[in-house]
């Protein structure tokens, strides 16, 4: 990658990806924690095209090495493919002071914290919990594939490799914001658990005959509800522990 892409200043360049507020600030790619220009723009409250230009300038002058970045893309709210730049942890940390924006200080803190959390999650991937969740996600994918095949058979249609891949990419889009293939071994345990839940929910919707476009609207909402529930569970557990402890004292 000699030159990073620079978008023109227009309305679409400044927009985030669909349901971008539910997308992680940092994600895993090939076993490495990375972020991207769109996530940075959202977090720092800057236009995406401005972030792209800043990163491209840092690459051009050699401040950020070409091995620290990767050209990628995302789907905007008009379902158009837009350019994006993925950055390694080192590349992001170098770029942060140059990004600016209305939320610069808070954005830098949150980005650093997100990378630290993902480091812990990467270490977690050797745990029995991750292995179990990975097996469950594989089983739920087979369940979803069977539901897809049955739904298409009921409509008198054949099911090809493309159709299975399209369903997988739909769920990948909900997790990462990109309609592309994904290595599941890159996912931390919480994201694997969400993927399993999405596969089961998608299978149920397929069995009910819900069209693709309706599922594309419903599944991101389900993912957001699932994440919010997971965040609330530790708080509820602490509250139960407190109440039980208080009752025993009385």
- 19: tokens are 């349901």
Neighbouring C-alpha atoms within 13 Å toward the C-beta of 205: 18
Average pLDDT over residues 118-146: 84
- Provide the b/e sequence for 161-172 (b: ≥16 CB within 10 Å): eeeeeebbebbb
- Please report the pLDDT score of residue 189 as a whole number: 84
- The CA-based angle 207-21-188, given to 5 degrees, is 70
The pLDDT of residue 160 is 95
Looking at the predicted structure, is the pLDDT value of residue 76 above 70?
yes
The residues spanned by each domain of the chain are: 12-124, 128-247
- How far is 130 from 184, CA to CA, in rounded Å? 11
Rounded mean pLDDT, 223-243 = 70
Give the mean pLDDT of the chain: 83
Closest CA to 192 of 116, 114, 129, 113: 129
- Rounded Cα distance between 231 and 239, Å, is 14
| pLDDT tens per residue, range 168-205 | 999 999 998 888 888 887 788 888 999 999 999 999 99
**Contact of 182 with 176, CB cutoff 8 Å:** yes
Per-residue pLDDT, averaged over 4-18, amounts to 35
pLDDT digits 0-9 by tens, 89-114: 999 999 999 998 778 888 889 999 98
């Amino acid at each position: 990658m000699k030159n990073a892409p620079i978008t023109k200043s227009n309305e679409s360049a400044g927009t985030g990806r669909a349901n971008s507020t539910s997308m992680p600030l940092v994600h895993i790619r090939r076993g490495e924690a990375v972020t991207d220009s769109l996530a940075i723009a959202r977090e720092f409250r800057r236009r995406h095209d401005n972030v792209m230009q800043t990163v491209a300038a840092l690459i051009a002058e050699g401040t950020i090495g070409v091995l620290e970045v990767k050209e990628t893309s995302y789907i905007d709210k008009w379902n158009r493919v837009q350019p994006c730049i993925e950055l390694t942890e080192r590349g992001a940390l170098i770029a942060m002071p140059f990004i600016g924006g209305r939320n610069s200080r808070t954005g830098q803190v949150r980005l650093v914290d997100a990378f630290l959390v993902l480091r812990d999650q990467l270490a977690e991937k050797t745990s029995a919990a991750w292995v179990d969740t990975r097996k469950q996600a594989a089983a739920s994918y087979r369940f979803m594939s069977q539901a897809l095949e049955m739904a298409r058979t009921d409509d008198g249609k054949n099911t090809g490799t493309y159709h299975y891949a399209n369903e997988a990419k739909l769920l990948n889009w909900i997790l990462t914001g990109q309609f592309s293939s994904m290595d599941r071994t890159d996912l931390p345990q919480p994201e694997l658990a969400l993927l399993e839940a999405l596969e089961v929910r998608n299978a149920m919707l397929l069995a009910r005959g819900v069209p693709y476009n309706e599922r594309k609207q419903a599944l991101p909402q389900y993912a957001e509800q699932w994440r919010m529930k997971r965040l609330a569970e530790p708080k509820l557990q602490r509250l139960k522990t407190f109440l039980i402890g208080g009752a025993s004292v009385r």
